[in-house]
Amino acid sequence: MRALSTDLGQQRANTVYGGSPRRGVEFLVPALVVLLVVALVILALSVRHGRASNVTTLSDRRGDLSTAERVTVDSVTQYWLQAMPATYGRPFRELSGGYQPRTPSSPPWTCNGQRVTYNGIKGNAFYCGGTHDDYVAYDASFLFPQLNRIFGSVSPAVVLAHETGHAVQHRAGVQAPSIVIEMQADCFAGAWTRFAQRSSDDPVALTAGALDSSVAVMLTLRDQVGTPATNPQAHGLGFDRVNAYQTGYDHGAASCARFPRQPPPTTELPFHTLAEALTGGNLPYEQAVPLFDRSLNDFWKGAFPAVRPGATFRTPRAVPIPVAPLPACGGAAAPDRDVALHYCPEDNSIQWVDPLLRRLHVQLGDTATGTILSDGWGRAAQTQAGRPTSGRRAGLQRDCYTGAWLSTIANGKEPLLQLSPGDLDEALTTIVASSFRPGAEEQSSRGGAFERTDALRSGVLGGISACH
Ligand SMILES: [Zn+2]
């Protein structure tokens, strides 16, 4: 974020916060899962893959890599044999050069006459299409085992589906800027994911955790922050890639085919100033919190009538708590130590564990702080509107509210703040990280990463009216 009015922050930091803590409804951001990568590494502990004779289940757990690769290629091919005629009105030819795993001991090979060695593909995968070439090559020594270990057996599948999307583009003669080509391949990967999940004929089944993990993979395979969308090498920020992937999942390959004519929105922005580039676009915690407080109050004053027509939003009091756990509120028991923030209806206050939020701010960026604070304001709005605050639907609605708040900043309707590159990805990462609960087989009661990022995206793209 970038502050457009910097003196405001300090003044409010000294005067607004303080007061008696009370009970509230909880918002879980377990301390253990503040870092996406850490969370996912912890998650990927055990090995599991399908037992059914012809169907292999891909999941967020590590699986047998060669099996995952084989069944994915079968399933993706099966998908395009039916989707290519439906989408582009022509049959799908299978890749004449197939799918080629590459390792350090692979002899050099060629792509369009150019010599390629393992070092040229290390940490990567690509499709090579040309007069004599039609194959997908991938780093089978480092990239795929790493993805499998961190994000589970679904992650190499998502990469293979993306690369096959490039083969489809080559066959269909798609012409578009690099960023659109990449987002379309992500969209095709999403369309295949839906097919694999739904179809009972193909050899792949997906767990709910696999869907959540696929979003995390998209978020990881993103551009370096600050790359403008016009950069010829641009692959898209996490937000744009997740958006494209979910578009394909929701609406199928035909929606992806429209991208060259109607490109999806891209949110990549270059840094505004050198100072911003040096800080990575992150405001210091002390400055960010009061600005978010003010900004969220302004947002809800305007947005509340959309939640409860004719009503006025009562500004909640913001109360940082210096040591965990949060104090009890009203008659209820004190929350667990890992509850980072809650809303207390008794005195209309939002309370949070200050050191926990500060740590998150440093680890994930300033919009992580904004995302968590926004959840508190969302709870205040839901409570004041007489809406439920607990359960999956209420949680998804608050993620949508957060997206709507960020969209007012992105659209320049917010006088205090301006979005920096990477801010939307910080919001996504915060949501993805807090959706993964180490050791928990089932999704969190708030909904998984796929649903939650979808809700955030609805708010970013559609504003508050998209949240009801
Ligand atoms: Zn690509």
According to the model, what pLDDT value does residue 282 have? 86
Rounded CA-CA distance 391/279 in Å is 37
Q: How far is the CA of 248 from the centre of ligand 1 (A)?
A: 15
Burial level of 364, CB count in 10 A (0-12/13-18/19+)? Answer: buried
DSSP string, 313-381: PPPPEEEEESSSSPPP-TTSPPPPTTEEEEEETTTTEEEEEHHHHHHHHHHH-HHHHHHHHHHHHHHHH
Query: Which residues does 318 contact at the CB level (< 8 Å), separation at least 6?
Result: 16, 17, 289, 293, 349, 350, 373
- DSSP tag of 223: P
Q: Name residue, tokens 């991208």.
A: 259
Between the CA of 166 and the centroid of ligand 1 the distance, in Å, is 7
Establish if 219 belongs to a structural domain. no
Tell me what the pLDDT averaged over the chain comes to.
83
| CA 425–ligand 1 middle distance (angstroms) | 19
Q: Which residue has the tokens 């708590």?
A: 321
The two three-digit tokens of residue 40, written as one number: 């996912």
**Do the domain assignments include residue 290?**
yes
Contacts 24+ apart (CB under 8 A), 5-9: 5/415, 5/416, 6/287, 8/290, 8/291, 8/294, 8/416, 9/286, 9/287, 9/288, 9/289, 9/290, 9/291
Residue 166 lies in a domain: yes
CA–CA dist 161, 188 (Å, integer): 7
**Could you tell me if 246 and 282 lie in one domain?**
no
What's the 203 CA to ligand 1 centre distance in angstroms?
24
Residue 359 covered by a domain: yes
Q: What is the mean pLDDT of residues 424-440?
A: 74
Rounded to the nearest whole angstrom, what is the distance from the C-alpha of residue 220 to the centroid of ligand 1?
A: 14
Q: What is the amino acid identity at position 51?
A: R
Burial class (CB within 10 angstroms; exposed 0-12, middle 13-18, buried 19+) of 186:
buried
- For residue 434, the CA-to-ligand 1 centroid distance in Å is 28
Based on the domain organization, do 164 and 21 belong to the same domain?
Answer: no
The C-alpha angle 198, 203, 205, rounded to 5 degrees, equals 45
- CA dihedral (398, 363, 28, 319) in degrees, to 10, reads -80
Q: How many CB atoms lie within 10 A of CB 250?
A: 13
Q: How far away, in angstroms, is 213 Cα from ligand 1 center?
A: 19
CA 176/CA 180 separation, integer angstroms = 6
| C-alpha count within 13 angstroms, C-beta hemisphere, residue 412 | 0
Is residue 332 scored above 80 in pLDDT? no
Q: How far is the CA of 451 from the centre of ligand 1 (A)?
A: 24
Measured in angstroms, how far is the CA atom of residue 58 from the centroid of ligand 1?
Answer: 22
Name the residue with tokens 């290629």: 73
Q: How far is the CA of 271 from the centre of ligand 1 (A)?
A: 24
Instruction: Assess whether 352 and 458 both reside in one domain.
Output: yes
Identify whether residues 320 and 352 lie together within a single domain.
yes
Give, in degrees to the nearest 5, the angle at Cα 72 between 438 and 222: 60
Range(s) of the domain holding residue 105:
61-206+227-257
CA distance 115 to 136: 15
Q: Are residues 426 and 359 in the same domain?
A: yes
pLDDT tens-place string over residues 4-39: 754 433 333 333 333 333 333 333 333 323 334 333
Ligand 1 centroid vs 185 CA: distance in angstroms?
6
CA of 243 to the centre of ligand 1 (A): 15
Closest CA to 257 of 152, 339, 185, 355: 185
Give pLDDT tens digits for 196-235: 999 988 999 999 889 999 988 888 776 544 555 555 454 5
**C-beta of residue 398 within 8 angstroms of C-beta of residue 454:** no
pLDDT band at 419 (very low <50, low <70, confident <90, very high): confident
Answer yes or no: is pLDDT of 194 > 70.
Answer: yes
Share of the chain above pLDDT 70, in %: 81
Tokens of 448: 């998984």
Q: Does 53 map to a domain?
A: no
Quick one: 13 and 121 in the same domain? no
Q: Is 364 within a domain?
A: yes
| Residues 134, 90 share a domain | yes
What letter does residue 390 receive in the DSSP assignment?
A: S
d(CA 253, CA 111): 27
Instruction: Please check whether residues 65 and 25 belong to one and the same domain.
Output: no
Do 197 and 99 share a structural domain?
yes
Instruction: Report if residue 130 sits inside a domain.
Output: yes
Q: What is the pLDDT of residues 339-388, one digit of tens each?
A: 889 999 999 999 999 999 999 999 889 999 999 999 999 999 999 999 99
**For residue 466, how far is its CA from the centre of ligand 1 (angstroms)?**
31
pLDDT of residue 444: 58
165/83 same-domain check: yes
Confirm whether 263 is domain-assigned: no
Q: How far apart are the CA of 126 and the centre of ligand 1, in A?
A: 7
| pLDDT of the residue at 425 | 85
Domain total of the chain: 2
What confidence score (pLDDT) does residue 37 get? 38
Residue type for 232, please? P
What separation in Å is there between the alpha carbon of 281 and the centre of ligand 1?
Answer: 27
Residues 231 and 312 in one domain: no
Distance 122 CA to ligand 1 centre (A): 15
Average pLDDT over residues 55-64: 94
Residues 330 and 186 in one domain: no
Tally Cβ neighbours within 10 Å of residue 110.
12
In angstroms, what is the span from residue 20 Cα to ligand 1's centroid?
Answer: 53
Structure tokens at 241: 């890639």
pLDDT at residue number 19: 33
176 alpha carbon – ligand 1 mean position (Å): 13
Residues 6+ apart with CB under 8 A from 171: 84, 88, 90, 92, 93
The answer to pTM > 0.85 is no
Q: Comparing 111 with 331, which gets the higher pLDDT? A: 111
